[in-house]
Amino acid sequence: MIRLDDLALFIRTAALGSFSNAAREADLLPGQVSAAIQRLERELDIRLFARSTRSLRLTAEGEGYLPYAHEVLAVLQAGHERIHDEQRALQGTLKIAAPSDLGRNVLLPWITEFREAHPKLSLKLFLSDHLTDVYRDPVDIAIRYGVAENASYVALPLAENNRRVLVASPSYINRFGRPKKLDELLMHQCLPYALGGRAYDKWNFPADGVRRQVAVKGVLQCDDADIARRWAIDGRGIAYKSWIDVCRDVQAGMLEVLIPDQPGEAVPLSLVCPHRKQFSPAVRQLYGELRGRITALASALNDYVIFKEF
């Protein structure tokens, strides 16, 4: 295996023209530099230098290998600098917008932990179910459900296979029964909420290659998806929520997935930014951490629904 120190000594010996000069620069003995070059020659199975008692010059093979040695060390140095620059660059203020339920109940502890790991970084978190305009609103990034409609946005996937699920609490199911098909939702108390500034009371489902829409009703409505989730846990009705929002409640037995053989509407989750140049070191590191954690949550959906072609 080629040693990086040997590679560096080869480059400096070629530049300085002698083992003695390279040794003096590196605070080594000439014999140590000579031994390093010999190790490198054995690894490469070529002769790098033509030696004599009075001169040292590169062989043709050494001349040909020298640019590659420079390139290897340059790439490694660039990687080292990139990592350390990113660690040093986690400062200033990062402004994040996220949906209310997701932000409070899933992202909040992770984002708080991320900030604590980087004391020079300040965070501003904006939680709302209104669609954030990353061009006009005072945010750096938005974490957003749904397919990006504006091609000028840059969207990095956090959970591309996420879907909505119908959920209700065990107490609601015991009192009012469990719907077995979509038409039966019309006989139940549902929990519509405002989404993007409009009442989300027409729930969409993929069925036989087309979109099936069910207009639901309920005596409880709100403009915050987190409230709909809480009402569902409290046994007040049926909610139609992103799996990521309710997965922990389902796993804890506080909610149950209804009609598991009916796929829910696709709601991929992405990190959205106006332009790739705005992916600062802080954004890149936050994205990497969120991507891993959210993917793990989303994958558990397979345990609660029956996937089929649609």
Which residues of the chain does CATH 1.10.10.10 include?
4-88
User: How much is the pTM?
Assistant: 0.67
pLDDT digits (tens, 9 = 90+) for 202-248: 999 998 778 888 999 999 999 888 999 999 999 999 999 999 999 99
Which residues of the chain does CATH 3.40.190.290 include?
164-257
Q: What angle do CA 19, 60, 57 make, to 5 degrees?
A: 25
CATH number of 164-257: 3.40.190.290
User: Is it the case that residue 153 has pLDDT exceeding 70?
Assistant: no
What's the pLDDT at 308? 46
Strands 269-273 and 92-98: unpaired
Domain 4-88, what fold? Arc Repressor Mutant, subunit A (1.10.10)
Strands 154-159 and 193-195: unpaired
Mean pLDDT of the chain: 86
Q: Give residue 310's pLDDT band: very low, low, confident or very high (50, 70, 90).
A: very low
For residue 263, report the phi and psi dihedrals to the nearest 5 degrees.
Answer: -60, 145
What's the pLDDT at 151? 55
pLDDT digits (tens, 9 = 90+) for 34-67: 999 999 989 999 999 998 877 888 999 999 999 9
pLDDT digits (tens, 9 = 90+) for 161-187: 899 999 999 999 999 999 999 999 999
Rounded average pLDDT over 264-281:
81
Superfamily name and number for 89-158+268-303: Periplasmic binding protein-like II (3.40.190.10)
- Name the 3-class secondary structure at 129: coil
- Name the 3-class secondary structure at 213: strand
CA distance 128 to 103: 9
Q: Pinpoint the alpha helices (H) of 141-252.
A: 170-176, 225-233, 243-251
What's the pLDDT at 204? 92
Which residues of the chain does CATH 3.40.190.10 include?
89-158+268-303
| Number of Cβ atoms within 10 Å of the Cβ of 41 | 18
Residue type at 116? E
Rounded average pLDDT over 115-134:
81
